[in-house]
Structure 1
Amino acid sequence: MDEMVKGKNGRIVKWQGEVPFPEIPNANFASFLLARMSKHGENDAALVNGQTGAAYTYGDLLRNIPKIRSGLVTAGVRPGDKVFLGCRNHIDMPVALLSIILAEATCVLVNPASTKEELKHIIGLSESRWVIAQDEKVAQTVEDAFKELSPNAFQQLWVIDETTSARPSLSDLISSSTPELPHKKEVFDAATTVALMPLSSGTTGLPKGVMLSHRNLIATQIQRAFSASLSPLRGINVYQSAIIIIPMYHMMGFNMVMNTLFSGGKAVIFPRFTPKEYFSAIEKHKVTLSPVVPYVLRYLETSHTMKNHDLSSLITFVTGSEPVSASTLTNVTKKSGRMAMQGWGMSETTGIGTATSTQTYDKEGCVGKFQPFFQAKVIDLETGEMLGEGQEGELCVRGASIMLGYANNPKATAETIDPEGWLHTGDLVYFDEEDNFYVTGRIKDLIKVKGYQVAPAELENIIRKMEGVRDVAVAGIPDERLGEVPKAWVVPRADAVLDTKAIIENVAAQVTPYKQLAGGVEVVHSIPRNHIGKVLRRQLRKPYEDKSKRSKL
């Protein structure tokens, strides 16, 4: 039941429409997706290696995924077991992932570049016992991590790239599969059975295991299809050909591939972004959709290569993971002749929650309206009261795709999901009279100057618009008198010479005194970011925090 309004004009925002929401079936997500894929052309390409041209058709997926599932079960994988999947973008990754989920095990999505120490933490929090690794290098690092944990923790490991290892592979799982599954079929509950465990981005600390149920994953697909059926683009398959350069072990990449398979499209997969391969693939595969991280979108904004390629098949660029300035979206749209959109979402919401439209993409900070199945509210940071239009506070959301919680971390779960089912996102937002949401920053990134709150994104947007600036990050550094003060790290464009004093003066002319760059400006070669492009502000702050601690000893 919706709460009573507590704050001034406070209200819950939700999708407004007369069409009833579709039912969410109680089903295994992989079974649900395979049933959908069986309606597509058996010989149509589903997954394509963008570098080699190797491909799987929908017929291949419908045959191989159940076989690999059977091979896993024959090896001993049981419902509820955790299977660690450490793999960069590869056409076998979705195959392995769906096979794990079909076996009613939990697929733990892991960055294959993780170090041994990082893997020890991930294995511990997820309780993974089975492993599918990209190649011999990843397999060896995982094995080393297991050796330093409980000796009985590890069960078995398979590799995807057979050319780099003599270990058992996915092909071996297919050959070892049996028609009859040896385990007894248990009563299945899609709402409580964990299908997928991506890891939180860990920008402010160690990553947490995000428990997503089969119902969460199915709801996301039904929600997207329902929303698409009501949009101005209905009848047009945006996912007809999607280029996947964002990591599939992150929820945005995972969802883009699953959306493509659900829609009967072709996912053209690359392990990383390189301009030459990217633009050539758009031409060759008549790409209709290009999801990118903000950093790549900002590259496209300034790239001179784009004009040399035919982008006529492309319908839209989409981005997420952190807010992108309206000027960047507008510049890419004008330069390419194709729409550049952004949305908001989290691993904890099973992906996208909002999306901009042709009417809102150029509004500064706007991430669009919430999708069907979601409810949202904004609460006061101090009182928790519900706020109304134009009032900034913390975004809270609830709905069918909200995670079950964090694996083996009841404290963090209770701090994030309240008793009424609201997920407290940690994002600072406000919404307008048309229910469009605007992201202004992260609560944990707020800079406290004499008790006043300063959002880094506000200052970054000002600096990013200055001539010669390619990238920027703002964070708070310790100050004996003021507590914290904002400092900017700025990356110049090629051949540009930045005047740090001019940057400080330009910001000062546009903000109140406590928001000024009292910590100064530092010109750097690059901004530290994680694998999906989020700024690692803790790395920027750490030298100053360490210095402050030493000075107090």
Structure 2
Amino acid sequence: MTPTGKNGRIVKWKGEVPFPEIPNANYASFMLTAMSKHGENDAALVDGPTGKAYTYGDLRRNIPKIRNGLVAAGVCPGDNVLLGCRNHIDMPVALLSIILAEATCVLLNPASTKEELKHIIGLSESRWVIVQDKKVAQKVEDAFKELSPNALQQLWVMDEMTSARPSLSDLISSTTPELQNKNDIFDAATTVALMPLSSGTTGLPKGVMLSHRNLITTQIQRVYLASLSPPRSINIHKSVLIITPMYHIMGFNVVMNTLFSGGKAVILPKFTPKEYFQAIEKHKVTFSPVVPYVLRFLENSPIMKNYDLSSLITFLTGSEPVSASTLQNVTRKSGRMSIQGWGMSESSGIGCGTSSETYSREGCIGKFGPFFQAKVIDLETGEVLGEEQEGELCVRGPSIMLGYANNPKATAETIDPEGWLHTGDLVYFDEEDNFHITGRIKDLIKVKGYQVAPAELENIIRKMEGVRDVAVAGIPDERLGEVPRAWVVPRADAVLDTKAIIENVAAQVMPYKQLAGGVEVVHSIPRNHIGKVLRRQLRKPYEDKSKRSKL
């Protein structure tokens, strides 16, 4: 048992209504049952650029038929099927069809390099592939050939006009074949339905194994919360604009939550300002989840005022902390609420989020939802901490992953014997059980043994006039071990004084937190596909220089 310090406690959902049961069901079957309650001709998925749409009736008919085609082709329960495409109207259809066949859907970033593909194919042991177009298909085929020429069983392409390969529509079949190698007993708690890939910012991606029960839990949470809401409360998912990648857990959850709720998911393949605002106006969008980088763009966008955003209820952001000032600025500028939440692939997505009362508190990510338990532990002793004490966030509950595919070492390092997922996030919670994120353990800068969170310095710099974006990371220092260095992007036509930035930070922090590593003005900050800063890329030249100097 983990020791509990003075006032240390585990934070749980506070409510008198018992939690509903989580059914032992196939996740895709569960979703199809939910979709059967929505109108046959109601729009479910809409392609933003072309206007092509699928109704709920289309989904209920086609998902089982594509499942039939997959099974007839030889896909068996427990097989892993790679699904690689950008945001595309057929992606949710293919995804649910794979899961309905009791196979595992492995979510693949189509921009992956051939070497990354070889790693992903190896760790997932996939032999079946569905991709968007011939360009991705060629990369995947080349990766398979270098691994094992006979390993790839079959590959299908969504955009049939761009490739002579078999298409997704070729899979549609009204014949219902029996599943091969099917176990007599289906266990939703141990059968893997989805395998998103970790971001890989600290190394090669890991395959996150999420069970049918993990995914169903996220929807049962919604059912439970809806039961506590007043009748006829606004359905925030009535019309949802999806620009976050659906191969990432945030985008996946947004589209599935929309389909579960009977809303319309408007899908854009990428973010461009004009198309984004036009889509909100045209489709009367009620909910817009975005990555932090996009939210910061909205904060500074001069064209927002040219569009009608009156239908929009809220913006939501996640994946990395956003300053309270950014949330406040977007809320003030748009007249729409801007909130942030916390989640990760390993927890099946979002676990908590801010409200209209808490969104403006610096670093606040809100309260954890039903089914979750959360605690904060001391980084050195593992002791459970109490209110206002900073440590690592650990969470537990039925939506926590089974582990990492073919990586028992990483699994054991992340999930302890008591079932707690060690998130790597630095947080504290207040007397109201609202959690506040202060940084990432792996990003901490160690100055003479003292810990410095980059997010603290970034928030100070971001508030300075003329600053559009900023990242802080630790670089090697012979005397102090590490020192903070800032990379700053100026706003258009702004001229930044690096000395003034250093002095401004020095006036607001303790001496060991000062920017002893200097400030560099750059054109952009390197980020991954979901907007997280690639600090390792920023540090690398200085680490390489330090290694050379020691030779």
Please give the TM-score of this superposition, normalised by the length of structure 1. 0.98
> Shift of residue 354 of structure 1?
0.7
Separation in 1, partners of 2:366, 2:42: 34
Match for residue 183 of structure 1? 180
The 3 A distance-change label for structure 1 pair 11 and 55 is: same
- Out of 406, 409, 422, which is 1:408 matched to? 406
Separation in 1, partners of 2:340, 2:3: 30
1:458-473 equivalences under 5 Å are 458-473=456-471
Separation in 1, partners of 2:403, 2:14: 28
1:151-166 equivalences under 5 Å are 151-166=149-164
> Shift of residue 233 of structure 1?
9.1
Match for residue 203 of structure 2? 205
| Number of equivalenced pairs | 550
Match for residue 530 of structure 1? 528
1:23-422 equivalences under 5 Å are 23-175=21-173, 178-181=175-178, 183=180, 185-186=182-183, 187-231=185-229, 235-422=233-420
Instruction: Name the amino acid aligned to 2:291.
Output: V
- Out of 444, 447, 452, which is 1:446 matched to? 444
> Shift of residue 203 of structure 1?
1.1
| Alignment gaps of 5+ in structure 2 | none
3-state SS of 2:260 partner: helix
1:8 corresponds to 2:6:
yes
1:226-266 Cα distance to aligned partner (Å, 9 max, x none): 22443579621100000000100000000000000000000
Match for residue 453 of structure 2? 455
Instruction: Name the amino acid aligned to 2:501.
Output: I
Separation in 2, partners of 1:130, 1:183: 15
Q: Determine if contact 2:2/2:383 at 8 Å carries over to the other structure.
A: no
Separation in 2, partners of 1:439, 1:223: 23
Instruction: Name the amino acid aligned to 1:132.
Output: I
The 3 A distance-change label for structure 1 pair 234 and 191 is: farther
1:156-182 Cα distance to aligned partner (Å, 9 max, x none): 00001111101001110014x522325
Separation in 2, partners of 1:394, 1:150: 42
> Shift of residue 5 of structure 1?
5.7
Instruction: Name the amino acid aligned to 1:181.
Output: E
Q: Determine if contact 1:229/1:235 at 8 Å carries over to the other structure.
A: no
Q: Determine if contact 1:5/1:11 at 8 Å carries over to the other structure.
A: no
1:496-519 Cα distance to aligned partner (Å, 9 max, x none): 000000000000000000000000
1:481 corresponds to 2:490:
no
Q: Determine if contact 2:3/2:382 at 8 Å carries over to the other structure.
A: no
3-state SS of 2:417 partner: coil
Separation in 2, partners of 1:13, 1:147: 50
Separation in 2, partners of 1:153, 1:319: 39
3-state SS of 1:367 partner: strand
Separation in 2, partners of 1:4, 1:14: 17
Separation in 2, partners of 1:83, 1:441: 35
Instruction: Name the amino acid aligned to 2:331.
Output: T
Identity %: 86
Separation in 2, partners of 1:497, 1:363: 30
Match for residue 509 of structure 1? 507
- Out of 19, 22, 25, which is 1:21 matched to? 19
The 3 A distance-change label for structure 1 pair 232 and 522 is: farther
1:383-410 Cα distance to aligned partner (Å, 9 max, x none): 0000000000000000010000000000
CA RMSD of aligned residues (A): 1.1
Separation in 1, partners of 2:196, 2:221: 20
Separation in 1, partners of 2:45, 2:108: 21
Separation in 1, partners of 2:222, 2:535: 33
Instruction: Name the amino acid aligned to 1:313.
Output: S
3-state SS of 1:522 partner: strand
Q: Determine if contact 1:332/1:340 at 8 Å carries over to the other structure.
A: yes
The 3 A distance-change label for structure 1 pair 232 and 542 is: farther
The 3 A distance-change label for structure 1 pair 233 and 125 is: farther
Separation in 2, partners of 1:4, 1:465: 40
> Shift of residue 185 of structure 1?
4.2
Separation in 2, partners of 1:451, 1:47: 52
> Shift of residue 7 of structure 1?
1.0
Separation in 1, partners of 2:293, 2:330: 13
- Out of 479, 495, 498, which is 1:497 matched to? 495
Separation in 2, partners of 1:92, 1:332: 32
Separation in 2, partners of 1:11, 1:224: 26
3-state SS of 2:281 partner: helix
Match for residue 518 of structure 2? 520
1:445-472 Cα distance to aligned partner (Å, 9 max, x none): 0000001000000000000000000000
1:265-300 Cα distance to aligned partner (Å, 9 max, x none): 000000000111111111111100000000000001
> Shift of residue 304 of structure 1?
1.0
3-state SS of 2:190 partner: coil
Separation in 2, partners of 1:541, 1:277: 35
1:408-433 Cα distance to aligned partner (Å, 9 max, x none): 00000000000000000000000000
3-state SS of 2:147 partner: coil
Separation in 2, partners of 1:546, 1:232: 59
Please give the TM-score of this superposition, normalised by the length of structure 2. 0.99
The 3 A distance-change label for structure 1 pair 234 and 506 is: farther
Instruction: Name the amino acid aligned to 1:531.
Output: H
Instruction: Name the amino acid aligned to 2:148.
Output: S
The 3 A distance-change label for structure 1 pair 317 and 231 is: farther
Separation in 2, partners of 1:451, 1:81: 48
The 3 A distance-change label for structure 1 pair 482 and 184 is: closer
3-state SS of 2:413 partner: helix
Q: Determine if contact 1:228/1:234 at 8 Å carries over to the other structure.
A: no
Separation in 1, partners of 2:179, 2:413: 41
Q: Determine if contact 1:191/1:214 at 8 Å carries over to the other structure.
A: yes
Instruction: Name the amino acid aligned to 1:405.
Output: G
Q: Determine if contact 2:343/2:351 at 8 Å carries over to the other structure.
A: yes
Separation in 2, partners of 1:452, 1:185: 55
1:484-536 Cα distance to aligned partner (Å, 9 max, x none): 00000000000100000000000000000000000000000000000000000
